[in-house]
């Protein structure tokens, strides 16, 4: 397994996203993923599955210290006391003494960012998390957060796949030593019949999803594909035995288009 390194954090380059996985399916998929060699599991308070992620982790038999666990604080807990309480509640659900990475899930313009970052840093100093970071932050918000955070921020987790140009956010992350973590890295399956990806995949004996994930890790981006199907778990992790050429990388990047974003909400920031 490759790692994406940022400050003192080593984030496994391939992880399991758990957005929209719930109940026993979630616990079973987490358990199977860990048995197959995944070492990075991503959850969030708002996914309402932290308990099941904890269950899957325990039943996998994999040592806790060998797994990188991320959770995210939902925006209604950004006031300092709420943040600390909500993280402690997450840890109770996960049945863990700490997570490896704690993220602010989305920017929240209604609470001063410096206050929330102060609370995030405090959670780290209390030992509730090893690292802290951001999710769905734009370039301007990354700049503001980096300047205001009392503790080093190690990543921005954003939607990223071949149909969405994230070069501005990537450049901002690079400037500030943040890793970029990609959610929806296979564009919610929309890549399945893409001619370019099918063609490149054929040349390597790989599927379009594997080509997408490889394209991300070759950019030093960590990817967290979500699936509820066990056979897809194996497919998604088999990306470390081939390499895309520079020409193939560029052809994949050229698939981006202005309507490529799949996850947007009324409360989202003004995207770059
Ligand atoms: C509302 C969830 C978006 C991705 O984490």
Query: Rounded to whole angstroms, how far apart are CA atoms 232 and 229?
Result: 5
By alpha-carbon position, which residue is closest to atom 5 of ligand 1? 19
How many angstroms is it from 140 CA to the middle of ligand 1? Answer: 20
Catalytic sites, residue numbers? 47
Binned at pLDDT 50, 70 and 90, residue 1 comes out as confident
User: Span 99-111, mean pLDDT?
Assistant: 98
- CATH class of domain segment(s) 3-253: alpha beta
Q: Is 263 in the pocket of ligand 1 (CB under 6 A)?
A: yes
The residue extents of the domains of the chain are 3-253
Residue 46: both structure tokens together: 């708002």
Binned at pLDDT 50, 70 and 90, residue 137 comes out as very high
For 189-247, the pLDDT digits (tens) are 999 999 999 999 999 999 999 999 999 999 999 999 999 999 999 999 999 999 999 99
Residues 16/226, Cβ–Cβ less than 8 Å: yes
For all residues of the chain together, what is the average pLDDT?
A: 98
Q: Is 245 in the pocket of ligand 1 (CB under 6 A)?
A: no
Query: Rounded to whole angstroms, how far apart are CA atoms 161 and 197?
Result: 12
Q: Is 19 in the pocket of ligand 1 (CB under 6 A)?
A: yes
Query: Rounded to whole angstroms, how far apart are CA atoms 182 and 165?
Result: 12
Q: What is the pLDDT of residue 34?
A: 98
Residues 258/51, Cβ–Cβ less than 8 Å: no
Binned at pLDDT 50, 70 and 90, residue 250 comes out as very high
């Amino acid at each position: 397994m490759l790692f994406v390194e940022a400050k003192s954090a080593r984030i496994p380059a391939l992880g399991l996203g758990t957005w929209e996985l719930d109940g026993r399916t979630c616990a079973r998929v987490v358990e199977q993923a860990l048995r197959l060699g995944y070492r990075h599991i991503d959850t969030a308070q708002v996914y309402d599955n932290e308990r099941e992620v904890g269950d899957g982790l325990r039943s996998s038999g994999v040592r806790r210290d060998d797994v990188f666990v991320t959770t995210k604080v939902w925006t209604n807990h950004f006031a300092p006391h709420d943040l600390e309480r909500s993280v402690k509640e997450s840890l109770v659900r996960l049945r863990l003494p700490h997570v490896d990475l704690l993220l602010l899930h989305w920017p929240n313009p209604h609470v001063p960012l410096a206050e929330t970052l102060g609370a995030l840093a405090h959670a780290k100093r209390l030992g509730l998390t090893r690292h802290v970071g951001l999710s769905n932050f734009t370039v301007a918000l990354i700049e503001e957060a980096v300047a205001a955070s009392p503790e080093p921020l190690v990543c921005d987790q954003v939607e990223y796949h071949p149909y969405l140009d994230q070069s501005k956010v990537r450049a901002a992350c690079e400037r500030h030593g943040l890793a970029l973590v990609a959610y929806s890295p296979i564009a919610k399956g929309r890549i399945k019949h893409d001619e370019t990806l099918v063609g490149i995949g054929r040349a390597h004996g790989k599927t379009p999803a594997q080509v997408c994930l490889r394209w991300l890790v070759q950019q030093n981006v960590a990817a967290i594909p979500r699936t509820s199907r066990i056979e897809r778990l194996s497919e998604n992790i088999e990306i470390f035995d081939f390499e895309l050429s520079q020409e193939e990388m560029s052809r994949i990047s050229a698939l981006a288009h202005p309507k490529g974003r799949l996850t947007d909400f009324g409360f989202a920031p003004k995207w770059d």
